[in-house]
Amino acid sequence: MKKIAIIGGGSWGTALAIALGRSFRPHRLAIWAHSPDIVDLLRTKRDNKVYLPGFELPAGVDVTGALAEVLGGAEIVLGVMPSAHAREVYRAMRPHLEPGAVFVSATKGLEPATHARISEVISSEIPQPRIAVLSGPSFALEVARGDPTAVVLTSADASLAAEIQEEFSGPRFRLYTNDDVIGTEIAGAVKNVIAIAAGVSTGLGLGANTMAALVTRGLAEMTRLAVALGGRRETLAGLAGLGDLILTSTGALSRNRSVGIELGKGRELGEILSATRMVAEGVGSAAATLELARRAGVEMPITEQVHAVLTARRATRDAIRELMERRLKQE
């Protein structure tokens, strides 16, 4: 029975602990949370009332605020921290890792300062790591509730992908594998940016025509960038790309869409973010995505307008107008 250390006590980390408790294979599970109040809640109430209220943590899941404790004996390290904090957390893990421990990154974002994908962050902080990436359309609340969910497990190491697929799969949590780490990570980061645009559209009171255009052209942007960076087009047409984009752009549980809706209604970004402890990864990934696009020579007009709105350089209605008035072209 393998021990899985879940690094991050937010909604997704909590939901994955619940889902892994239902897996076909039994595990020893432990969660590390950065905030002492979350550690206390999970230990005493067994309910993450801050991030994922109403779901009981399985009785066998240990909870700690100490990395040495959670990583002791752990053969699989499941990273579920926000992208902005990933490097410092992986660096802090390094002295406590078991020899041969493998890493599964479930963080969907880019490091804001370096524009690095999270697998690149892990590789720069941990000597010769074996890494897989977990992504795809998966709201934490619905995974915790047990709704049938299909996700993607990606690794350049086929044997690792197969191993984690077997370990994580359950009756209502299905994993597909592929080896396109670049395409999967770019899709997981950029779909959050497009979802903010979709939310802006909703907040402005615009209809289904606009939403369909944003999602479809947003997918085109995601695909152009992923392919330019070495990813595969078919990955963007699958669960990690189109599937997650549809979910995040249209689902009521989407944090990034919610931020966009409030921006569309005229609220200031700082006010929106200060009202919640939840992280909307698209806010931090927009600038990093644009920089990657600039380096790769890829045009990303929706991402550009989202970035302009987030930095308060452009009103939301002006951003939509600029997208509609761009130079006419073939699809």
Query: What is d(CA 275, CA 132) in angstroms, rounded to the nearest whole number?
Result: 33
Active site residue 265: no
- Give pLDDT tens digits for 158-170: 999 999 999 999 9
pTM (two decimals): 0.95
Percent of the chain clearing pLDDT 70 (strictly above): 100
Q: pLDDT-based confidence at 313, cuts 50/70/90?
A: confident
Span 165-185, pLDDT tens digits: 999 999 999 999 999 999 999
- Give me the pLDDT at residue 234, please: 98
In tens, the pLDDT along 190-221 reads 999 999 999 999 999 999 999 999 999 999 99
Give dist(CA 46, CA 63) in Å, integer: 9
Q: Whose CA is closest to 71, among 102, 41, 114, 46?
A: 102
CB atoms within 10 A of CB 331: 5
pLDDT confidence bin for 86, thresholds 50/70/90: very high
In order of 196, 255, 273, 287, 307, the CA distances from 263 in angstroms are: 9, 12, 11, 17, 12
Query: What is residue 312's predicted lDDT score, i.e. its pLDDT?
Result: 84
pLDDT confidence tier of residue 9, bands split at 50, 70 and 90: very high
When the pLDDT of each residue in the chain is averaged and rounded to a whole number, the result is 95
- In the set 2, 45, 108, 191, the catalytic residue is 191
Is 322 buried (19+), middle (13-18) or exposed (0-12) by CB count in 10 A?
Answer: middle
| 278 vs 2: which has the higher pLDDT | 2
Domains and CATH numbers, the chain: 2-178 (3.40.50.720), 181-324 (1.10.1040.10)
d(CA 4, CA 69): 12
pLDDT value at residue 29: 98
What integer is the mean pLDDT of 271-295?
90
Span 218-251, pLDDT tens digits: 999 999 999 999 999 999 999 999 999 999 999 9
**pLDDT tens by residue, 117-174:** 999 999 999 999 999 999 999 999 999 999 999 999 999 999 999 999 999 999 999 9
